[in-house]
Amino acid sequence: MGGAGLELGGYFLALGGWVGAICAAALPQWKQSSYAGDAIITAVGLYEGLWMSCASQSTGQVQCKLHDSLLSLDVHLQTSRALMVVSILLGFVGVVVSVIGMKCTKVGDENPVAKGWIAVLGGVFFLLAGMCTMTAISWYAARVTYEFFNPSTPVNAR
């Protein structure tokens, strides 16, 4: 096992990744497209996220709408939602378990071997959370790429 400084540095990196996963899950910019009509006045930017869809007018006005029903969503969107929620929960467990197992805390000081294994367990939770986030983002990105290069998608709506 590394020193306390190395543990603390790894913990803060993992904590930053967990906060980044929370921000990524909440933001509506997972899929961006635009529709340009005959005039520039009718240009619309469309944003779709896991929880809402937004439309941005060329005048600067932005309107967002939450997805109405869970059952009406595509499978890739439902799965990405579930994976991101699982990732956030696993990250929270990793935050708590890692704090208990770090050398710089006084919890469980009487058994240093068990404390080291608890720190490793916290790292495993962070790794599982990262894998869930990576899977959700990769699957969603593959679906967006497929829809972009689909010949039936109009050119002015890509």
Give backbone dihedrals phi and psi of 48, rounded to 5 degrees, phi first: -130, 130
Token digits of residue 145: 């790429």
Model pLDDT for residues 130-154, shown as the tens digit of each residue? 999 999 999 999 998 998 888 887 7
94 contact partners, CB below 8 Å, separation of at least 6: 14, 18, 122, 123, 124, 125, 126, 129
Sorted by where each begins, the domain ranges of the chain are: 4-27+74-157
Given a cut of 70, is residue 24 above it in pLDDT? yes
Alpha-carbon gap, residue 91 to 150, rounded angstroms: 36
| DSSP class per residue in 104-141 | TS-TTTT-HHHHHHHHHHHHHHHHHHHHHHHHHHHHHH
Token digits of residue 87: 């990732």
Q: Rounded to two decimals, what is the model's pTM?
A: 0.85
State what percent of residues in the chain have pLDDT above 90. Answer: 44
Look up residue 63 and give its DSSP letter: E
* 3-class SS of residue 19: helix
Given a cut of 60, is residue 59 above it in pLDDT? yes
